[in-house]
Structure 1
Amino acid sequence: MELIVIELRGKRVLTTAQLAENYEAEPERIVRNFNRNKERYVENKHFFLLEGEELRDFRAKGQIDLPQNLNKLYLWTEKGAWLHAKSLNTDRAWEAYELLVDEYYKVIEQPPQYSSLEVALQAALQHEQAIKEIKTDVDYLKGNMRIDGLQQQEIQQAAKQSIVQALGGKDSIAYQEISKKVFSAFWNEFKQYFKVPRYGDIPKVKHEEALRFISLWRPSTSLQMEIDSCNSQMAFE
């Protein structure tokens, strides 16, 4: 498959349609995957977004034919193509990605000649861009890194203490009869609030929020009435 070469800002890029054709996926699926994972894509790193005057200038150069009513164009870099291959996660997508890297993105070009001042300015700009990209990656890792073993243990112990207290202590009838139900209710509510399949998947940045959730947690009204009903038996014995 021979691709029309598209270049922008010194890089080779692909349209969504080209990417979809190579990955043997519908363009709509590429768009859906992008919309579902927008927080992972960084503009000017994974894609270029052309609108307004910049889009009109790009259209005028005639590298590719574009619909007249198009008002927004996404062009995907090598790193963006990698994220899309990861989202699709098919054998065809990974095979196509490797071919794109070898035969499209990694084309050896003659470097332009610059004066020493231009070289210094370019190096400074590249250094600044590299720092921004590293900061973006670090911020992403911070936001998605899971809690460690000690933090998991802290959450588990705090939850146990809160639940036992709600039951009236380990010596209470409620603890003996319905503790499993109350523990289950707590963890279901906890995972639903933080939108995780298990408590160990909570990001580190939400560790303190998890402890605050535990300290503020109380059984639902119906569950509290059931606890009170169980423990009221102690008063009549």
Structure 2
Amino acid sequence: MNQLQPITKNGQRVLTTLQLAESFGADTKIINRNFQRNSDRYVQGKHYFSLTGEELREFKGSRQIDDSLKFTSVLYLWTEKGAWLHAKSLNTDQAWDAYEMLVDDYYRVKENVTSLSKDQALVTVLRTTADLVENYDSVVKEQHELRKLVIQVDQKVEEQITLDHGEQRRLQKAIATKVYEVCDDPEERPKLFREIYREIKDRFAVTSYKDVKRKELQSAIRYVENWIPRKVVS
């Protein structure tokens, strides 16, 4: 990564959109598109600063800037947290690697480190804790959505499960009980067995009674219990 020209705003280092795009190996249009698509996630003063009017003119006059920015009416300066959101949106190895380098070599200046007072240290700890809580809430939300998706997949799978051996035996037993209940003639019973099995396949749209869905087992048993042969057998 090329040496970046330091830019500070409100006591913290920031990057222009062009600098951020070059660092991430992306185009400024991609950075701007990420910002537009996720604008509700970006907070001014936290993730970026927007310079317009006199403030923008003073900024342009105080430093050398890219020719493409000379006539811009609004200039975005991205903080470390803003760069993190962009890296998350791009979600490429190059973007994450570049972000880590920015944090190590640009945003967090290691030279001339000054000691913090107790009050300053407390503020830093509180801000860090608030950031951790914010990130934790985001992770918890993502995990909750993932659990919901897993449950939905499990439900879909459960809906397609067919009868196991024991459940097939329960249905067979219900069928046999019904046939013997409605017919005393051993010679007629095979016809009734064929009839009831055929109707079960038609009723539950399966090629075999074994393919009846597990969730429909109770419905199949009730169907058998209320079944009446087409030809009344004496």
Partner of 1:34: 35
Letter in 2 for 1:81: A
Partner of 2:136: 138
Instruction: Provide, for residues 94-136 of structure 1, a one-character-per-residue CA deviation record: whole Å limited to 9, x for no partner.
Output: 554444334323422324577xxxx343234323323332232
Residue 165 of structure 2: aligned partner = none
Contact 1:48 / 1:76 at 8 angstroms: preserved in 2? yes
In structure 2, do the counterparts of structure 1 residues 91 and 135 end up closer, same or farther at CA, with 3 Å as the change threshold? closer
Give the Cα–Cα distance (whole angstroms) in 2 for the partners of residues 57 and 87 of structure 1.
Answer: 31
The aligned counterpart of 1:3 is: 4
Secondary structure at the counterpart of residue 132 of structure 1: helix
Q: What displacement does 1:5 show?
A: 0.9
**Aligned CA distance change for structure 1 residues 139 and 103 (closer, same or farther; 3 Å):** closer
Number of residues paired by the alignment? 168
Task: For residue 136 of structure 1, give the secondary structure of its aligned residue in structure 2.
Answer: helix
Unaligned runs of 5+ in 1: 161-170, 184-233
Residue-by-residue CA offset, 1:155-189 (whole Å, 9 max, x unaligned): 728x84xxxxxxxxxx68453259xxxx9xxxxxx
Equivalent-residue separation in structure 1 for 2:153 and 2:20 (angstroms): 46
Name the CA shift for 1:139/1:108 in 2 (closer, same or farther; >3 Å).
same
Aligned residues of 1:4 and 1:64 also touching (Cα < 8 A): no
Letter of the 1:48 counterpart: Y
Counterpart secondary structure, 1:140: helix
Aligned twin of 2:205: 176
Q: Which amino acid aligns with 1:27?
A: T
Aligned to 1:70: 73
SS in structure 2 opposite 1:12? strand
Code of the residue aligned with 1:122 in structure 2: it is Q
Structure 1 Cα separation of the partners of residues 73 and 25 of structure 2: 23
Report the alpha carbon displacement of residue 75 of structure 1 after superposing the two structures with TM.
2.0
| TM alignment of 1:25-174, pairs within 5 A | 25-38=26-39, 41=42, 43-45=44-46, 47-51=47-51, 55-56=55-56, 59=59, 62-63=62-63, 65=65, 67=70, 69-71=72-74, 73-90=75-92, 92-111=94-113, 119-145=117-143, 146-148=145-147, 152=151, 156=155, 160=159, 173-174=202-203
Q: RMSD of aligned C-alpha atoms?
A: 4.4
Give CA deviations for 1:131-152 in whole Å, capped at 9, x if unaligned. 3322321221232213549x72
Cα pair 2:44 2:50 within 8 Å, conserved: no
Q: Per-residue displacement from partner, 1:174-229 (whole Å, max 9, x unpaired)?
A: 53259xxxx9xxxxxxxxxxxxxxxxxxxxxxxxxxxxxxxxxxxxxxxxxxxxxx
TM-score normalised by L of structure 2: 0.51
Aligned-pair distance for 1:17? 0.6
Measure, in 2, the Cα distance between the counterparts of 1:21 and 1:172. Answer: 65
- C-alpha distance in structure 2 between counterparts of 1:34 and 1:9, whole Å: 21
5+ long unaligned stretches in structure 2: 160-199, 208-212, 214-226
* Aligned partners of 1:22 and 1:96 also within 8 Å: yes
Query: 2:55 and 2:23 mapped to 1: Cα distance?
Result: 24
The DSSP-based 3-state class of the residue aligned with 2:205 is: helix
Question: Taking structure 1 as reference, are residues 110 and 59 closer, same or farther at Cα in structure 2, changes over 3 Å only?
Answer: same
